[in-house]
């Protein structure tokens, strides 16, 4: 059972991601921001994180920094609406596994997760 | 009857015979008239007829009183002396005078004196004359008063007057009187010494001859054979006497002639002396006249120079005129002007004025010779002209005396003027030095003025801004500088006297605005940062200024212009670039926002694709509708923004709405992460403006605020009406602006953002747009605490 935490302020995104990964062996936990994410992290440990960059009351970059500090071995995939390369470069610099631009097709999302974990998730 | 009245004892003492008063009475009568004499005598309480009777006597006291009254009456202290002249006159002797005339042939002044002194005792009972010694032409006599009588000054004068006139009877000059002692001054007696000129010898000889002849006649008469006195003899005797008489007359006439001749000689001598004196006086006057003429000449030179000074605008012309005037009025052969620079080098052709012509080549002056340089540099202050007597080969051809006049302008020895007589070799006058000093000072001031005005003129002409002066009412141009002619490619003749707006080809609709600006500048003195469009679509930036009062041309307006077409175009390009940069930020924000719903649409469509249940599919389709609506809204904002960029017509704008729109657009920006927006917006009147420009003001300010807060903080927007202003504030809790840079933030291209993030034009655009709508912008900032921009627009 693979545990995944998605941090995004947009409930639609959280819902879509949950649906996209619904038929896989991944258990999706969703958080709307930094505080919710921290709460989940206290209770459980996760195998992989998906994090938005721009959120209403949280900064994805800072969350990424904290995650890489606390869980250096856990891959973090950034998911953003931005198309600028500079965001890509910035998050890769901070240790993100990859930075995906919304919208992301289900197959691509699963493929990236599998690559990040180094195993099949079906 | 009358007689009795005057017979008073004190007056009629037997002391002096009335004879002594005789000359005085004659003197008085001659000086005035008989009536006055009678009145005068009466005033002394005496009767004239009494005094005129020689048998009568008077008191010595009365006599002295009479003399005193006489002096008082005539006002002449010497009256008693002068009266003495009549002692031996015809009037004094009456019929006896002719006898005296005959007697004088036989007598002499000496004998007469002696006789007078002897007779004196019969006239006077107060004193007596005693002859001390008697010589041929001199007699010394003592006047001794009897006891009880004393001499008085006036009597003394009267006595002297009578006695001095004795030789006059013989046609001799008055006797000289020496008073060795005077009883009136306390001496026991008066001692007089009378001396007179000797009688001419011929006269004496003639007297002897005629006497002898008479004796011979008498002898002949008595001893001739016939004792009868016959007629013939009497006639011969009479004729003889007549001949003698006429011979004497002839002699007398000759004597008079001789005397006259002598007198003439004396007179001519006197005249000659007077003439000499007169000549001397004339020479002095002539000299004075020459001095005055000289001074007048110099004054007229100074005046002529003064006249030239007022006209001259160029140094060469003034110096030429100066040489002209001096050479024309003073006697020099040559005048030279050397033009020196601050290193004592001759930098211009030497100006030489000869009697008749100007010569620019001048004498060859070798100014790089050390002697020459040291001569120039040796002319120290004060700038006094001097006479150069030794040979200065550096100043010319042959040794010649010169007057050197140094002229210093602004402390630098700029000119050496020299005057000489190199042809005639006439000596130069030292006296002219002072005059040249005055003139050189006058010239120095004039040249200084020319320099100053030329400098001002040159600066004005060459300043790299176009300056035009025109009349505020007619707009007619009275001055343009070179720069204007050059930069606007205008023919100078087409400018002066023409309307400024015609000359700069301002667009027609611009005229009213210009008139208003002129009215404004009359009040404010200065109007900066104005722009106008010309009919050939160029942009002219200008500043208007009023002429200062002191200049005395209050009707004149100055305008400093610059063709800013290219600058303006470049600025517009930069503004476009800034807009593009803003758009870039916006696009990335929009993309972010649009991608979210798109992710929703995509994900939902994927589900629908795999979903079989109809109800679930309907729910998902409803989601898709939501996502697409959300995306459409975003696109709508974007398109409204894009439209506002193209707006060209001013409309009534609600600033609050513009702020809201700006906030919405900026909120899509990726930086807009964790920012709380506080709004404190009150009702405000609308203003007439381009909506896009007003939105841009607030977009730029909000963008900067977001940037300053690094995506986190509080953004406060306020708006309210404050008197005649709409006051809005954009306040952030960001990093603030340091004091060092706060003065530069409105400058174009000033930015703290990294390359690519901003053009540095944001706040500059804000500033220009705010001032375009006559608004004011100010900033308050505290480093580390935040910044507040305050914008005020006047209520239109």
**Cβ-defined contact of A103 to B598 (cutoff 8 Å):** yes
Cβ under 8 Å to A: B residues 111-150 = none
The CATH T-level fold of domain B314-451 is Beta-Lactamase (3.30.450)
Q: Where are the domains of chain B?
A: 2-199, 202-282, 314-451, 463-561, 570-794
Collect the ranges in chain B with pLDDT lower than 70: 1-11, 93-106, 200-207, 210, 213, 217-218, 220-230, 356-374, 377-383, 388-399, 550-552, 576-589, 636-648, 670-671, 748-749, 753-760
Tell me the residues of A at the B interface, defined by beta carbons under 8 Å apart: 10, 12-13, 15-17, 19-20, 53-59, 80-84, 87, 101-106
Distance CA B266, CA B227 (A): 57
Q: Confirm or reject contact between B623 and chain A (CB < 8 A).
A: yes
Contacting B residues, span 358-397, partner chain A, CB-CB under 8 Å: none
Nearest residue of chain A to residue B608 (CA atoms): A19
Q: Which residues contact B209 (CB under 8 A, 6 or more apart)?
A: none
Q: Which of residues 659 through 688 in chain B touch A, CB cutoff 8 A? A: 670, 672-674
Query: In the block, which residue shows the tokens 């990040």?
Result: A116
pLDDT value of position B7: 45
Predicted pLDDT of residue B600 = 82
Chain B positions in Cβ-Cβ contact with residue A80 (cut-off 8 Å): 592, 595
Q: Is A56 in Cβ contact with B592 (below 8 Å)?
A: no
Q: Does B713 touch chain A (CB under 8 A)?
A: no
Both tokens of B505, joined, read 């080809």
Architecture of the domain spanning B2-199: Alpha-Beta Complex (3.90)
pLDDT tens-digit map of B132-151: 888 878 888 888 888 888 88
Nearest to B674 among A57, A80, A105 (CB): A57
- Put simply, the answer to whether A56 touches B674 (Cβ < 8 Å) is yes
Digit-coded pLDDT (tens) for A11-57: 888 988 988 898 888 999 999 999 999 999 999 999 999 999 888 77
Q: Hey, what domains does chain A have and what are their CATH numbers?
A: 2-117 (3.40.50.2300)
The partner residue sitting opposite B588, judged by closest CB among A83, A104, A106, is A83
Question: Which of chain A's residues have a Cβ under 8 Å away from the Cβ of B599?
Answer: 12-13, 16, 81, 102-104
Contact assignment for B592 to A82 by CB distance below 8 Å = yes
The per-residue pLDDT for B31 is: 86
**What DSSP string runs through B496-565?**
TTSBHHHHTTB-GGGHHHHHHHHHHHHHHSEEEEEEEEBTTS-EEEEEEEEPPGGGT-TTEEEEEEEE-H
Contacts of A87 in chain B (CB under 8 A): 670
| Contact by Cβ (8 Å): B792, B775 | yes
* pLDDT of the residue at B383: 64
Of B600, B672, B673, the CB nearest to A12: B600
Cα→Cα distances B284→B278, B287, B290, Å: 10, 5, 10
CA triplet A10, A15, A17: central angle to 5 degrees?
100
Tell me which architecture the domain covering B570-794 has in CATH: 2-Layer Sandwich (3.30)
Question: Considering only CB atoms, which chain A residues are within 8 Å of B596?
Answer: 10, 12-13, 81, 102
Cis peptide, bond prior to residue B459, ω within 30 of zero: no
In this predicted model, what pLDDT tens digit does every residue of B505-520 receive, in sequence order? 888 888 888 888 888 8
Q: d(Cα B418, Cα B363) in Å, to the nearest integer? A: 12
Find chain B residues with C-beta within 8 A of A56's C-beta. Answer: 673-674
Q: Which among A84, A105, A106 is the nearest to B588, CB-wise?
A: A84
pLDDT at residue B790 in the model: 93
Maximal CA-CA distance, chain B:
232
Q: Do domains B314-451 and B463-561 have the same CATH topology?
A: yes
CB contact under 8 A, B599 and A13: yes
Please give the CATH topology (third level) of the domain spanning B463-561.
Beta-Lactamase (3.30.450)
CA distance B588 to chain A (A): 6
For testing the chain B interface, which of A16, A23, A56 should be mutated: the one with the most B CBs within 10 Å?
A16
Per-residue pLDDT at B1: 36
- Closest-CA residue of A relative to B623 is A12
Whether the predicted interface score ipTM is above 0.95: no
């Amino acid at each position: 059972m693979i545990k995944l935490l998605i941090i995004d302020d947009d409930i639609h995104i959280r819902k879509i991601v949950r649906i996209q990964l619904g038929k896989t062996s991944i258990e999706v936990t969703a958080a709307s921001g930094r505080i919710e994410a921290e709460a989940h992290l206290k209770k459980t440990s996760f195998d992989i994180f998906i994090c938005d960059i721009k959120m209403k009351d949280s900064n994805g970059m800072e969350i990424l920094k904290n995650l890489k500090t606390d869980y250096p071995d856990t891959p973090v995939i950034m998911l953003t609406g931005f198309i600028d390369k500079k965001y890509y470069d910035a998050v890769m610099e901070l240790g993100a596994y990859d930075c995906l631009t919304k919208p992301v097709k289900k197959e691509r999302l699963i493929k990236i997760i599998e690559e990040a974990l180094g195993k099949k998730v079906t | 009857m009358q007689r009795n009245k005057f017979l008073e004892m004190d007056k009629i003492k037997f002391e002096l015979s009335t004879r002594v008063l005789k000359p005085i009475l004659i003197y008085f009568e001659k000086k005035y008239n008989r009536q006055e004499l009678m009145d005068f005598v009466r005033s002394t309480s005496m009767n004239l007829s009494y005094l005129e009777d020689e048998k009568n006597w008077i008191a010595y006291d009365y006599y002295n009183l009479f003399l005193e009254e006489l002096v008082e009456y005539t006002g002449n202290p010497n009256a008693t002396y002068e009266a003495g002249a009549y002692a031996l006159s015809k009037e004094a002797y009456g019929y006896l005078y002719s006898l005296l005339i005959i007697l004088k042939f036989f007598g002499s002044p000496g004998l007469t004196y002696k006789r007078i002194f002897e007779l004196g005792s019969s006239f006077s009972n107060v004193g007596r004359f005693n002859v001390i010694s008697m010589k041929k032409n001199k007699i010394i006599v003592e006047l001794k008063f009897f006891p009880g009588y004393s001499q008085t000054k006036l009597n003394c004068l009267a006595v002297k007057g009578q006695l001095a006139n004795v030789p006059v009877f013989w046609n001799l000059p008055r006797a000289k009187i020496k008073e060795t002692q005077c009883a009136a001054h306390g001496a026991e007696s008066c001692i007089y010494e009378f001396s007179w000129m000797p009688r001419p010898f011929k006269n004496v000889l003639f007297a002897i001859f005629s006497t002898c002849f008479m004796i011979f006649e008498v002898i002949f008469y008595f001893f001739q054979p016939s004792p009868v006195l016959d007629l013939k003899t009497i006639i011969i005797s009479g004729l003889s006497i007549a001949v003698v008489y006429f011979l004497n007359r002839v002699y007398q006439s000759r004597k008079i002639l001789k005397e006259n001749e002598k007198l003439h000689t004396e007179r001519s001598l006197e005249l000659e002396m007077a003439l000499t004196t007169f000549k001397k006086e004339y020479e002095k006057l002539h000299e004075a006249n020459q001095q005055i003429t000289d001074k007048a000449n110099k004054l007229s030179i100074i005046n002529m120079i003064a006249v030239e000074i007022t006209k001259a605008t160029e140094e060469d012309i003034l110096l030429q005129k100066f040489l002209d005037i001096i050479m024309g009025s003073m006697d020099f052969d040559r005048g030279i002007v050397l033009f020196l620079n601050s290193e004592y080098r001759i930098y211009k052709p030497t100006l030489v004025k000869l009697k008749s012509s100007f010569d620019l080549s001048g004498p060859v002056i070798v100014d790089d010779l050390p002697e020459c340089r040291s001569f120039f540099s040796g002319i120290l202050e004060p700038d006094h002209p001097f006479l150069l007597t030794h040979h200065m080969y550096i100043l010319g051809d042959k040794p010649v005396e010169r007057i050197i006049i140094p002229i210093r302008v602004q402390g630098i020895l700029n000119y050496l003027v020299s005057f000489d007589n190199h042809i005639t070799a006439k000596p130069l006058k030292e006296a002219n030095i002072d005059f040249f000093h005055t003139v050189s000072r006058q010239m120095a001031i004039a040249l200084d003025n020319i320099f100053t005005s030329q400098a001002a003129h040159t600066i004005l002409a060459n300043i790299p801004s176009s300056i035009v002066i025109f009349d505020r009412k007619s707009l007619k141009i009275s001055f343009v500088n070179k720069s204007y002619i050059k930069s606007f490619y205008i023919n100078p003749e087409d400018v002066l006297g023409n309307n400024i707006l015609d000359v700069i080809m301002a667009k027609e609709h611009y005229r009213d605005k210009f008139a208003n600006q002129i009215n404004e500048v009359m009040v404010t003195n200065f109007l900066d940062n104005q722009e106008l469009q010309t009919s050939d679509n160029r942009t002219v930036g200008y500043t208007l200024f009023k002429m200062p009062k002191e200049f005395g041309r209050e009707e004149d307006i100055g305008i400093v212009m610059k063709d800013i077409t290219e600058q303006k175009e470049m600025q517009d390009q930069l503004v476009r670039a800034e807009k593009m940069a803003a758009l870039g930020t916006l696009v990335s924000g929009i993309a972010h926002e649009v991608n979210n719903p798109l992710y929703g649409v995509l994900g939902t469509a994927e589900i629908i694709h795999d979903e079989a249940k109809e109800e679930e599919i309907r729910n998902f389709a409803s989601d898709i509708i939501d996502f697409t609506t959300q995306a459409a809204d975003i696109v709508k904002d974007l398109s409204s923004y894009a439209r506002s960029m193209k707006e060209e017509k001013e409309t009534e704008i609600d600033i609050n709405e513009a702020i809201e729109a700006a906030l919405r657009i900026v909120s899509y920006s990726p930086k807009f992460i964790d920012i709380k927006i506080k709004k404190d917006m009150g009702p405000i009147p609308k203003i007439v403006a381009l909506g896009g420009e007003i939105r841009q003001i607030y977009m730029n300010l909000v963008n900067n605020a977001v940037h300053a807060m690094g995506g986190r903080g509080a953004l406060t927007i306020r708006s309210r009406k404050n008197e005649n202003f709409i006051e809005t504030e954009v306040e952030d809790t960001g990093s603030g602006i340091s004091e060092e840079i706060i003065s530069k933030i409105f400058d174009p291209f000033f930015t703290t953002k990294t390359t690519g993030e901003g053009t540095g034009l944001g706040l500059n655009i804000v500033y220009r747009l705010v001032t375009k709508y006559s608004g004011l912008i100010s900033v308050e900032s505290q480093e580390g605490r935040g910044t507040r921009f305050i914008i005020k627009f006047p209520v239109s």
